[in-house]
């Protein structure tokens, strides 16, 4: 069965109308699961996310393809001029929180699973993961990956649905979260100069400027697709009272990492130019890359010849598929995400569903074996 353009738009708007801020996405997951079940797909719950099966029976010798996207959204930000959950359709634009990131990909993936091309039904198994809590902790996909591993199921190819203008991200930066801790000496603000008390805020400022100077030059490895690692201070704290020189000040550093520089190497580079302590808060989200000659990538390019291959600076659940053929691709534009009056166009939505369908056809023909794909290229 194939969803009509009107049915696809209706599904997408229904998803947008269902609030699903991270941690509160249960209703949206239930809606998506119910829709899939009503169209004949087997759906199960894995750790609070929905997982649907289509195509060949699970556990057969045929390739297992995983489609993965998230139903949760960030909270409503200031600046909206429309009701964020109204899913208003104005001309060709559908407005609403999550309309672009990533409910457009979710709706398009659901449509492709329901309409799994006849030629592909007996040639591959499709798993569709519609996950929770991606925006905060990437918890949903991590749970699903663990459960699939427990069952001895390993996807041969993974497609992560995010707004990429249907360009194909074959590499993605990782996330290393550090805390820079500067030490000073508590003292009355009126006497600090006389006492020579070190101000932790001033020490922290010097360290931040030292990091900025370090990264301004050619100080670290450069990845062909992703460039160099980046470091941005995003949160500052320090001080206990207006009239007390702070004994400690802290800055959270958001570091986007690249495959050819391990997190510990980046941390060491930063620690080498600062006086304060550099503490690791999180390093679980690693960079990931897929070879441009991999079978999945070649199939995706055949499904959309005009798509460009690129490296993505933004995170997604692609991070959990290192070592597998994985790409990030979907309808919409990343620049619209997490902004007021978020939207996606009807044409983008329809193009996304068509692309995912063509990709499944190509994967079925190729068997996802690189040699078979290359023989047809």
First to last CA, the chain: 30
Buried b (16+ CB within 10 A) or exposed e, 355-376: bbbbbbbbbbbbbbebeebeee
The strand pairing partners of 129, in sequence order, are: 51, 68
Given 25, 123, 134, 348, which residue is catalytic? 134
Asked about 134 being catalytic, the answer comes back as yes
Residues marked as catalytic: 134
């Amino acid at each position: 069965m194939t969803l009509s353009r009107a049915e696809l738009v209706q599904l997408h708007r229904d998803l947008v109308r269902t609030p699903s801020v991270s941690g509160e996405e249960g209703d949206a997951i239930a809606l998506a699961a119910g829709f899939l079940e009503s169209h004949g797909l087997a759906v199960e719950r894995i750790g609070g996310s929905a997982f649907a099966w289509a195509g060949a029976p699970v556990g057969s010798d045929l390739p297992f393809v995983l489609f993965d996207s998230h139903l949760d959204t960030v909270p409503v930000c200031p600046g909206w001029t429309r009701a964020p959950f109204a899913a208003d359709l104005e001309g060709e634009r559908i407005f609403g929180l999550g309309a672009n990131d990533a409910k457009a990909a979710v709706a398009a993936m659901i449509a492709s699973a329901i309409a799994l091309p006849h030629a592909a039904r007996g040639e591959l198994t499709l798993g569709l993961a519609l996950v929770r809590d991606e925006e905060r902790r990437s918890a949903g996909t991590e749970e699903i990956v663990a459960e699939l591993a427990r069952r001895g199921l390993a996807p041969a190819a993974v497609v992560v649905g995010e707004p990429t203008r249907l360009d194909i991200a074959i590499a993605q930066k990782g996330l290393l979260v550090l805390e820079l801790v500067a030490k000073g000496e508590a003292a009355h603000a009126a006497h600090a100069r006389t006492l020579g008390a070190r101000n932790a805020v001033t020490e922290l400022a010097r360290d931040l400027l030292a990091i900025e100077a370090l990264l301004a030059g050619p100080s670290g490895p450069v990845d062909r697709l992703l460039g160099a690692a980046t470091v941005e201070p995003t949160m500052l704290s320090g001080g206990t009272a207006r009239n007390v020189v702070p004994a400690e000040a802290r800055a959270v550093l958001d570091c986007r990492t690249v495959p050819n520089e391990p997190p510990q190497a980046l941390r060491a580079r930063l620690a080498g130019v600062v006086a304060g302590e550099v503490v690791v808060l999180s390093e679980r989200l690693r960079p990931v890359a897929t070879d441009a000659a991999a079978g999945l990538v070649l199939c995706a390019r055949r499904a959309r010849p005009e798509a460009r291959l690129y490296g993505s600076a933004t995170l997604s659940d692609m991070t959990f598929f290192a070592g597998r053929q994985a790409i990030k691709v979907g309808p919409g534009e990343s620049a619209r995400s997490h902004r007021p009056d978020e939207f996606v166009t009807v044409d983008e939505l329809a193009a996304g569903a068509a692309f995912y369908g063509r990709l499944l056809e190509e994967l079925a023909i190729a068997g996802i074996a690189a040699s078979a794909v290359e023989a047809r290229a």
